[in-house]
Structure 1
Amino acid sequence: MTYIIEQQLLTITQNNLISKSLVIAHESGNLNNTGSLSLENEIAYMKRMAQKNGSFTSHWVGGGGRIVQIAQTGKIQYGAGKYANPHVYAQVELARTSNPDWFKKDYVAYVWLLKKLAAEAGIPNTLNTGTSLASKGIKTHHWISSNLGGTTHTDPDAYLMQHSISLNQFARDLSSTTQKEVLSPSSPTKSNHLHHIVVKGDSLWSIAKKYHTTLTWLKTINQLSSETILIGQRLIISTNSSNATPLSQFAIIKTIQKTLGIKQDGLFGPVTKQSLISLLQKKIGSKSDGYWGPESASKMRILKNGFSGWDVYVVQAFLTGNYHLNLDTPDKHYGPKTTEAVKQFQLSFKLLADGITGPKTYQKLFG
């Protein structure tokens, strides 16, 4: 299995190494960032830190088997403390996920990349051997803390164990001679997102129109502070599964519009949004004007797993139509899929990601 390594290199100066003795295995350690955008969120954060002379590593793995390189290998990266950094050829971070299938894909890609980088550096693909720099190979961040110092992190041990991967298993997988000996992936090179590569003449508005989405969503999901985009830039369009297409989203919106009894154009525009809010207002006994306000907000119940009703339907419709979260056609039942979509939405807007739809989530969703 060969992976595509996406290049998103930082425009910073990296100093020369003293030696190429180590490759380090990390994980993000971010308990609150486990949704479908965890990889993108972590990369965006690390890029900001690197520009401020903070810590950074060379690679990230996540998103269901994606690999992204953000810094040069064979140059100093600042991710493992002052004693290790000058001797580290590459440092690899693993983004967290709450999706077991995604973890399997991430783990296989993680192992593949660590082995590849060790081969490039000309060091053994053994894990945590020895107690000093003289023992070249792949090391966990925990090994660095225990043997070299300069850092106190203990990753990725606990996160791997959460997914039933012991350090002994990790070591065996790194030393295996064939990919089949590692956890079997399911098409790990396929992204679980719909993407668009920016070409000449594109604008964020034209891309939003093409994929029946909004400027706000594109800016949110791609961590954009403005509407400026560059030719060749890779934009995430939606977090649907890899076999989804814009037409599937189009069809879902048309189904929503059919339920509302309005024109079925497949576009989640102002008329559709106002009709959904109006439907919700009728169900809760609020003034039915199609505009979200304090009166409507005061009459909403707090939604969570197990609830059903038209209020759930409208929440699902907005998550699916306006934010392209993977919920399929709204069904009025607040189950695990809706809970996860709400968590993803909450993370995107820096809300408490508990999967419960309360006043603050309603305001961001409908306001």
Structure 2
Amino acid sequence: MSNQIEKRFIAIKQYPLTDSRIIIAHESGNALNTGKNALENEIAFMSKQALKGGAFVSHWVGNGGQIIQLSKTGFVQYGAGANANSYAYAQVELARTLDPIIFKKDYLAYVWLLKKLANEAHIPRTLNTGNTMKEKGIKTHHWVSSYLGGTNHRDPDDYLASFGISLSQFAFDLANHPEEDLFQTPAKKTTHMVIVGDTLWSIAKKQRTTVTWLKKLNNLSSNQINIGTVLKITNGEFHSIAVDHSLNKRTDIIKSIQTNCGTIVDGRFGPITKKALLCLFQEAIPVKVDGLWGTETATLARNIQFGIRGNDVYAVQAMLFGLGYEVVGVPDCIAGKLTKKAILLFQKNSRLLCDGIAGKQTLSLLFQ
């Protein structure tokens, strides 16, 4: 993948860094600026503010993958608070859009640029590792707010999640993916031969399926796999959860849910099925899969809201259905209008804030 970086340096003085330890990933946070001129609007505003002594970063990405550099890397930029600015080799902002096609191109360029800058500065392409400045890497603005202070922004977590990119996916793409492979539909294979370095998790991730499903397909009792073993795999978009929209009976839908999460298929929605769904949810984040809702799961879970996709969405839909909120329909991994309606009903009955978004509090009550 080849990207051009357009240089539009602002005429401002920049000071030397204390040390070059991190790259900071931002997004604009401006929900009112999502049109075709979003990138130019953000750059014009930031340029004016910078000339008045206000905030600025080194790069912006937007407009379908366009990259614009506003200031020098390796010098202080004022984008993430006093505790982080003097350690950030570069800070990259992502302009918003409502168009998934434009987002796809923006995200490709965003990942490409963050990786390029990290390589340039000899900084690891790891995301949000550690909780101090000791561990070099790429950090989100949210990480800076959580661990360094001096700022309270939470970007780019929710914006990426609104297009189905979890932080774990973001981290994976920064660390591993060739840029050309991002967003591509997996090859339609029926088998995979295990090679050196393969794990069930890496195979499931590549094929957009789940460890639970691979184990069920291949009658595996543990996560251990041997080199040379030929595994059956699944294919298709969004983790290959099987969806049969012809199902119309509650029992049949619950059996389908049980099949998809690899548990006993008896048509009864009880503790075993609930635990299996929580395991599926944990696997999608991912965190330690133990079927228990704990601090780590609560911390890393993303908000389940309109428009996002994934196995965590499926687990929430299935849990809602099983608990009697059948308005959610047949679980399909896509948070649409019916999913929002079911979440609203659950929140109302649980005396929670009714916003149709399954955040930490709603998810905690749903899975406990």
With the length of structure 2 as denominator, give the TM-score of the two structures.
Answer: 0.50
With the length of structure 1 as denominator, give the TM-score of the two structures.
Answer: 0.50
Which structure has more RCO (C-alpha within 8 Å, separation ≥ 6)?
Answer: 1
